[in-house]
Amino acid sequence: LHAKVLNIGCGAGLTSNPLAERGYNVTGVDFSKENLEIAAKNDPTNSVKYLYGSALDLPFPEESFDVAIAMDILEHVEKPEKLLLEASRVLKPEGILFFHTFNQNPLSYFLIVKGPEWCVKNTPKNMYLYRLFIRPNVLKNHLNQANFSVDVLLGFRPKVYFSFLKLLMTRSDPKDWCLQSSISSFS
């Protein structure tokens, strides 16, 4: 029996659908009905349960899921600490949270906020708001307050020089971004 997975802010199903193909019992929640329609349409298994709802008020009882995923959503909500509390509430006691977000630093500002605006055609205005990016120490505090035990926080830093130049010159997203990782541990 595969784990019950909740994808918070599932978007167009880019994470949910591949997990369902691997046999996981997946539920995706998003605040965009358009995203949910796209996700459901592209679910080859027809098994993902897509629901309209808020990441800050999840429509599930406590301890409903083995895994929660919050990819590229924490930096889109005004109160990420509330999202993390909700994720903690719906996870079983030994549940796992996977997430991705952006650090609030100058590199993120230029690469994530301004880079696409300047260089990629049709980028929506204010797709990312820098003020919502989260510094690692603030994120650690939010996770602790939501009763998550964090052993390792893994960060990625692009080796940007040539990729960023390529982005500027071609006005398209380079497919060869190189990443280096950094790891922080705390108890």
Kindly report, residue by residue over 56-97, the tens digit of the pLDDT: 999 999 999 999 999 999 999 999 999 999 999 999 999 999
Give the pLDDT of residue 126.
86
- Enter the pTM of the model: 0.82
Give the pLDDT of residue 186.
33
**153 φ/ψ angles, rounded to the nearest 5 degrees:** -115, 120
pLDDT band at 46 (very low <50, low <70, confident <90, very high): very high
* Averaged confidence pLDDT in the chain: 86
- Cα end-to-end span (Å), the chain: 32
Q: 138 pLDDT exceeds 90? A: yes
- In angstroms, rounded to a whole number, what is the distance separating the alpha carbons of residues 2 and 22? 9
- In angstroms, rounded to a whole number, what is the distance separating the alpha carbons of residues 118 and 134? 23
pLDDT band at 130 (very low <50, low <70, confident <90, very high): very high
Give the pLDDT of residue 6.
98
Rg over CA atoms, the chain: 17
According to DSSP, the residues that pair with 21 across neighbouring strands are: none
Question: Considering only CA atoms, which of 66, 89, 52 is closest in space to residue 19?
Answer: 66
Lowest mean pLDDT among 7-16, 30-39, 118-127, 160-169: 160-169
Question: Considering only CA atoms, which of 157, 146, 161, 153 is closest in space to residue 181?
Answer: 157
- What is the residue-wise DSSP string for 16-53? HHHHHHTT-EEEEEES-HHHHHHHHHT-TTS--EEEE-
Any alpha helices (H) in the chain, and if so which ranges?
16-21, 33-41, 80-90, 106-108, 115-119, 136-145, 161-170
Give the pLDDT of residue 182.
41
